[in-house]
Amino acid sequence: MTDLRSRPLIEKLVGFDTTSHYSNLELMAFVQDYLKGHGVDSQLIHDATGTKANLYATLGPTDRGGIMLSGHTDVVPVDGQDWATDPFKVTEKDGKLYGRGTSDMKSFIAIALAYVPEFLKRGLDTPIHLAFSHDEEVGCIGVRSLIKMMNEQPIRPVMGIIGEPTSMQVCVGHKGKRSFRAIFKGKEAHSSLTPMGVNAVDYAARLAVFLRGMAERIASDGPFDELYDVAYTTVHTGVMKGGEQLNIVPGHCRMDFEFRHLPKHDPDALQAEIMAMVGDLEAEMKAHSPETSIAVEELSGIPALDTDPTDEVVTLAKQLAGRNDHAAVAFGTEAGLFQHSAGVPCVIIGPGSINEAHKPNEYISLDQLAKGEAFMGRLADKVCAS
């Protein structure tokens, strides 16, 4: 296989442990220095702690909107996973590069950076905007301040390519997500006197059963969108913790749940249905004991992506990918936020497979990297003067 120009940059980026609970500033300093070495200024947008940052840079003309290449710099933890190699050192074996972030999604960032010299050498008629974020893996936290900065600029991108791993399939949509934590405050009593208490675990279980019923109803009745591998909105209870010991009526229970909704399924209506049930349960609890309660906190939320398949960005992405089909993905990305909060129509397309993401021995194939570089090379042909 022809030497991959992105290979050295992949090795460098994977070498930074940017697990979401750590800083990404060392990686961002490297990217800034790399861009500066090619005469490109970039801007960091720090979080409130000053330990993490987004990066934004524009290549080419600054008097018009261009094409945004976007990716997140954070990765998920490797703790407790059985890795055969050092996860933060790229290892090649059998046509694959192993390492945390190779698939999700430092390879796309490396490819975008590797083509900076070519974009500049050939001269850009259309600007290229680089937008790299932090803390995508923990609720798309970082990109929100990046979008705020973009919205304050006189000129913003006219379209975006989000390089999440899709095996170079053009994706025009993803599901939205809202996640919640419910804290049930019951009333403790000795288990021989259960009528004197209010069982927080029982009430949490009733909410979980209600959510399961919602999930089954939606799976049966829809709405549906066959573009998705799971063609309907899903509802899921993921965590339930409560009680101290068997002979005490539990006075506390924590429950975490979420729904992942199709673009056509109104998330506010789904949330209202859930909160109505919470209200009914809380009223029943308080009828037994006024000091009981249910408190629900929204932990995170991202809007769905629903790009018109006839949009200019979809047409361009299909040309660059050399294919005419498109798909949608069930997992969430920052694309929905760019579309809804910045008005930037986006597609999701990048090398690697989501099936390899977040796992031990994460990898990307050299073939996928070659396809990613071919995509970026065709982009250069489109946007450069020569």
The CATH code of the domain that includes 332 is 3.40.630.10
Residues 280 and 331 reside in one and the same domain: no
Residue 1 pLDDT > 60: no
Cα atoms in the Cβ-side hemisphere of radius 13 Å centred on 79: 5
Instruction: Examine residue 360 and state whether it is found in any structural domain, yes or no.
Output: yes
Q: Which of 252, 271, 302 is the last residue before a domain boundary?
A: 302
What is the pLDDT of the chain when averaged over all its residues?
97
Residues 355 and 297 in one domain: no
Domain boundary, last residue among 253, 277, 302: 302
pLDDT tens column, 180-191: 999 999 999 999
1 in a domain, yes or no?
A: no
- Confidence class of residue 3 from pLDDT cuts 50, 70 and 90? confident
The arithmetic mean of pLDDT across residues 100-129, rounded, is 98
The mean pLDDT value for 21-47 works out to 98
Bond before 127 cis per omega within 30 degrees: no
Classify residue 2: in a domain, yes or no.
no
Rounded Cα gap, residues 303 and 223, in angstroms: 17
Helix (H, G, I), strand (E, B) or coil at 45: strand
Mean pLDDT, residues 34-56: 98
Quote the domain boundaries for residue 205: 176-302
109 and 88: one domain?
yes
Which among 302, 323, 341 is the end of a domain?
302
Are 240 and 103 within one domain?
no
pLDDT at position 2, please?
58
pLDDT tens digit sequence for 322-338: 999 999 998 999 999 99
Assess whether 111 and 161 both reside in one domain: yes
- More confident call, 386 vs 361: 361
Is residue 259 located within the same domain as residue 151? no
Q: How high is the pLDDT of residue 386?
A: 83
Mean pLDDT of 7-29: 98
Split into its structural domains, the chain has a count of: 2
Q: Is residue 165 part of a domain?
A: yes
For residue 104, tell me if it sits in a domain: yes
Whether the CB-CB separation of 259 and 199 falls below 8 Å is answered with no
CA–CA dist 55, 44 (Å, integer) = 5
- Please check whether residues 202 and 231 belong to one and the same domain: yes
Together in a domain, 11 and 144: yes
Q: DSSP letters along 271-282, please?
A: HHHHHHHHHHHH
For 134-167, the pLDDT digits (tens) are: 999 999 999 999 999 999 999 999 999 999 999 9
Q: Tell me if 248 is assigned to some domain.
A: yes
Same domain flag for 224 and 119: no
Within-domain flag for 56 = yes
Q: Are residues 219 and 341 in the same domain?
A: no
Question: Residue 258 belongs to a domain with what CATH number?
Answer: 3.30.70.360
Domain identity same for 25 and 95 = yes
User: Do 278 and 315 belong to one domain?
Assistant: no
pTM: 0.92
In this predicted structure, which of 6-10, 51-55, 154-158 has the lowest mean pLDDT? Answer: 154-158
SS3 49: coil
Q: Are 129 and 57 in contact (CB under 8 A)?
A: yes
